[in-house]
Structure 1
Amino acid sequence: MAADGDLAEHALDVADTVRDAATEMGRTPPQVAIAWTLLNPAVTAPIIGARTPARLEDNLGALEVTFTDDQRAALEKVGEIELGQLPIPRSVLFGGARIESRA
């Protein structure tokens, strides 16, 4: 469950896989993360939020990233989220309230 730290652990696994791919390619993790986002057909434009010209230039390097089939498969596998998994723990959203079924 997300409340038990599973979501945080999942995020760390994703970050490790992105870093590993970046190291293999001689790219930065932000470039790989942005390029990976661009592989998703539902994404029309990632929001990069660069605060300096140097960061913007680095982020734009994502347009030159090319993944191997193995790198893409590793990213897709680690990026999978179990259906119904909330990015916010249920206890935060619902305060522990439960509705009992009448059936």
Structure 2
Amino acid sequence: MAQLEDNLGALDVRFIPEQVARPEAASAVELGFPHDFLARPMTRNVVFGDVRLAARR
């Protein structure tokens, strides 16, 4: 029971934004091909035909 309570105590840890940003920046990877290619406006226009869906009201 003591180990469970100790483990559950770890759930109460709070990080400041700088502590979160540092490992995120260190582990960021450039996705490269095909992600960059598929994100291009011309490619998206060819794939999706520049279709825009209106929100339902």
Q: TM-score range by the shorter chain?
A: 0.3 to 0.5
Larger RCO, structure (CA 8 Å, separation 6 or more)? 1
What TM-score, normalized to structure 1? 0.22
If the length of structure 2 is used for normalisation, what is the TM-score?
0.34
Q: Indicate the structure (1 or 2) with the bigger Cα radius of gyration.
A: 2
